[in-house]
A and B are shown apart, each in its own frame.
Chain A
Amino acid sequence: DAKTTQPPSMDCAEGRAANLPCNHSTISGNEYVYWYRQIHSQGPQYIIHGLKNNETNEMASLIITEDRKSSTLILPHATLRDTAVYYCIVRAINNAGNMLTFGGGTRLMVKP
């Protein structure tokens, strides 16, 4: 699976949009971009995933560049409860084991 690069930490003001970037310049055509987050001392939580089109759900929006080499997770109105480590993961469609390889992630701190 392709390697991802994320900034180690980011701050965001409560109520503002949080934009978390991820670089996956070696992504292959059959690889999806997944985002998970982990609140302190909890298991990871699925947020969203996409292949090439932008995606939106009740939690966030995922913007994938046209060349698919980078993406941005957007939390439109960050709250204090969104403080967590956010992981961007690229995984092949034909990953028979469906395992996820976690990188360092981005530690998002939402401040009042």
Chain B
Amino acid sequence: GAVVSQHPSWVICKSGTSVKIECRSLDFQATTMFWYRQFPKQSLMLMATSNEGSKATYEQGVEKDKFLINHASLTLSTLTVTSAHPEDSSFYICSARDPAAGSYNEQFFGPGTRLTVL
């Protein structure tokens, strides 16, 4: 199946700093990518839908000014956590859909990025 990568796989930062997480589709072009957040022992929660060349669509309760999403190319979407605080510590996962595979195809998920804010 298609491969989605994330970088970094883990990051530790100080409170108040910004952290950028990259999501790449390695062997296909993804017009749409999704960003999820997962707290310990909880399920994945969709944060936003990232569309190439346009503004991201954020889920209710997700601050767009805090979680900046940029989808500048068909293979790369970035999530920047601005002014991170300890409560932002979580597992961030992206996924991408391969439009060439049809409307009903599965989404491909990245391996996740574990963010720890001290």
Contact = CB atoms under 8 A, between A and B. Distances in A.
Interface of A: 32, 34, 36, 38, 41-46, 49, 87, 93, 97-105
Interface of B: 1, 4, 6, 32, 34, 36, 43-46, 49, 57, 91, 93, 95, 97, 103-104, 106-112, 114
Nearest to A97: B49
Contacts, number: 55
A34 B108 CA distance: 13
B103 A93 contact: yes
B93 A97 contact: no
Contacts of A49: 104, 106
B112 A98 contact: no
Contact of A46 (B6, B57, B108, B112): B108
A32 B44 contact: no
